[in-house]
Chains A and B, each alone.
Chain A
Amino acid sequence: MAIEQVTRNGAVDPSGYGGQPVIDVRNLTKHFPVGGFVSKQVVHALEDVSFSMPRGEVVALVGESGSGKSTTARLLARLIPPTSGEIVYEGKDILKSEPRHASLDYRSDVQMVFQDPFGSLNPVHPVRYHLERPLKIHKKTRGRGQTRDRIHELLDIVGLTPPAEVAAKYPYQLSGGQRQRVAFARALAVEPRVMLADEPVSMLDVSIRIGILNLIERLKEDHGISFLYITHDIASARYIADQTNVMYAGRMVEGAESTELIDEPAHPYTKLLLSAVPNPHAGLRTEEAPSRGEIPSLIDPPPGCPFEPRCPYAMDVCKQEMPGISSLNRRHWVRCHLYPAGEAAAGMSGKLTNVSVQVNVRN
């Protein structure tokens, strides 16, 4: 399947995801200029990223800060334009088909929920106002009565009850979790097909995070909304995401069905990431010293695999070129020179799992 994701000529085999994906991202690249006015330096925030969002599923993007997860979400929300690449929504490249109404349709069909529920609501307006605006702008309701009923319905869906009471409250009267629910209700108001949730729980207290994750699950099940869930917490991706894609230094390096990714990771970086998650069962002291190193500079990155400097399996070829996609099975793919390119790698998932990632003990 992964192979098809990158072919540009539309030969997408739908069988892998059971139907046409709602969004297909192809070779998406984003460079940000840095330095002064005359500087020619660019940050390669996102480099050649391709993936699909199957209809009615949750796709997680996991990775460290600076890996390009949020840039991907912001590109998909069309908050920023890409440097190159395609975003195919319902079969159409939205970056090319540019009549204004098409763009408006996309912006209402694809909604974003941000990380900070304290910053994303206007403090001088009550909850009602935040939900009224999208309903009016996108002409979803007619007349006051209908608008009010719809607002109450939306609040009910996201679990804010009693709705009439909550609608009259101001953001400061709500807890972080409640505010994030308002943000979800606001996004829901325009009846989106896709929601982009960028770290929606990382600023919330631990005891209420699960409630928001369960809400995402419910919106997927009951309303058929497809989600892009961005997180640095791979365990939460396992909890709600059908598919998990791993990002590193602006590249997407591996993707698989979530439980398979965690049980049989193929990319050395994915293994490193998984080994770093605190594990109360194993304890810290029994572990070997962890690998050292950080994401390389994204300004003028070398041509090879960005993980090469830290990779215990690094070979000469890794310095020279970025590996292509190896397809391990229908939904599991990896970009790593350890695996033969294309379909030849089929069945190799998890093959390296018995070789634990070697770690460099510091002296």
Chain B
Amino acid sequence: MAVANTIPAERVAQNKRSGSLITLDDLKVEYLSPRGPVRAVDGVTFDINPGEVVGLAGESGSGKSTIAMAILRILQPPAVITGGQVLFGGRDILAMSDSELEDFRWREVSMVFQSAMNALNPVMTIGDQIVDAIRAHSRTSKSDARQRAADLLDVVGIEKARIDSYPHELSGGMRQRAVIAIALTLNPPLMIMDEPTTALDVVVQKEIMYQISELKEKLGFSILFITHDLSLLVEISDRIAIMYAGQIVEMAPARELFEHPLHPYTQGLMQSFPSLTGDKKRLTGIPGSPPDLISPPSGCRFHPRCPKRFEMCDKVVPKLAEVSPGHLVACHLYPEVRAESQNHGD
């Protein structure tokens, strides 16, 4: 099978020249199962520029968290990276040795996981955990590390005096701030945030989101922000990629995506969130449920649920193609996509 769902190579090349921070090129990850491989990530290509926030949205099982773990090379069997490249500063992360990885992780890319409660060690103070993270990756004296830990807590909005608190003494929001502090220890150029606020209440979520965007302005790191909450993503992201069944089906600047969604799946997602304002209209959601990735539907993976499908949808795999500046979509409704998909054949 030809490479599905890729951005034209010349575009990737162009991005590399313009100095993107990280480039995923045709990344493929499979989970081995007794029934056959589950193609969790199937040919994903995108890049993140310095200082940019790229949002990755999709339902559970669409492959967004798998991408995050593949970038950090923390996938565990039965997950296997079966193809593609992840280029960071010209080096392919997927080809790094263990010692290179040790240098790379946390220094270049750090990660904030969804559940703050589980990410922290319950029997260590948060100060000690930050000190640990600092000293694991740099030669720093204990007292210097402790000083830096206190500063980091301050940066994320926790009083320095709380440095000797245990996680259970902190609220959910403060624990999540502490986790962000740990991710900031080495001031990495890229932070991956996987549903960092999903377990929190909206008011606390707002505080954390505000804090994150403030830190980003100050420190200039890039973020790969993963969530199923499109409204949240539109608020924080510069660009958004929508994933469905292991593939990117649409990618565009946040506002453009929000105002002019092109893929029927994205349009369906927009029809899935009740709004706080405007007319109370009846929403339809998306009928059916996401496919089994062991034997995904032929052609476009969304076609069984798509209200706009036509003859070619179950036969030809749609490729991501640029239909307006910066706006890529993989749907046969658009002539650019049809041309691209047929050129490359299947």
Contacts and interface: CB of A to CB of B under 8 A. Distances in A.
25 contacts: A64-B201, A175-B289, A177-B289, A178-B289, A205-B60, A205-B290, A206-B273, A207-B268, A207-B285, A208-B285, A208-B286, A209-B272, A210-B271, A235-B273, A273-B203, A274-B276, A275-B206, A278-B202, A278-B232, A279-B235, A279-B276, A280-B258, A285-B213, A290-B210, A294-B171
B275 interface: yes
A236 B60 contact: no
A279 B231 contact: yes
A43 interface: no
Contacts of B287: 211
Given A206-B228, A206-B269, A238 B203 contact: no
B231 A238 contact: no
A65 interface: yes
A278 B274 contact: no
Nearest to B62: A205
A239 B280 contact: yes
B209 A277 contact: no
Contacts of A292: 157, 207
A259 B278 CA distance: 10
B236 interface: yes
A236 B171 CA distance: 26
Contacts of A273: 202-203
A291 interface: yes
A322 interface: no
Contacts of B204: 64, 294
B229 A207 contact: no
Contacts of A283: 234-235
B242 to A, nearest CB: 12
A291 B207 CA distance: 7
Contact of A206 (B235, B272, B284): B272
B183 to A, nearest CB: 19
A278 B59 contact: no
A214 B280 CA distance: 13
Nearest to A67: B201
A264 to B, nearest CB: 13
A222 interface: no
A58 to B, nearest CB: 13
A272 B205 CA distance: 12
Interface string A31-61: 0000000000000000000000000000000
Contacts of B207: 290-292
A63 to B, nearest CB: 9
Interface of A: 64-65, 175, 177-178, 205-211, 213-214, 232-236, 238-239, 259, 262, 272-281, 283-285, 287, 289-292, 294, 362
A237 to B, nearest CB: 8
- Complex A-B, nearest 4 residue pairs according to Cβ-Cβ distance, in ascending order: A210-B285, A239-B274, A280-B234, A64-B201
A206 B275 contact: no
B272 to A, nearest CB: 5
Interface string B196-231: 000001111111011001000000000000001111
A188 B268 CA distance: 29
Interface string B31-47: 00000000000000000
Contacts of B258: 280
B244 to A, nearest CB: 10
B268 A262 contact: no
B289 A208 contact: yes
Interface in B279-316: 280, 282-287, 289-290
B202 A235 contact: no
A275 B210 CA distance: 13
B246 interface: no
Nearest to B201: A64
B188 interface: no
B286 A294 contact: no
A236 B274 CA distance: 6
Contacts of A276: 202-203, 205-206
B173 interface: yes
A207 B235 contact: no
Nearest to A259: B280
B285 A290 contact: no
A64 B202 contact: yes
B266 to A, nearest CB: 11
B37 to A, nearest CB: 20
Contacts of B171: 294
A209 B202 contact: no
Contacts of A205: 59-60, 228, 289-290
B280 A238 contact: yes
Given A236-B274, A280-B258, A210 B206 contact: no
B305 to A, nearest CB: 8
A168 to B, nearest CB: 19
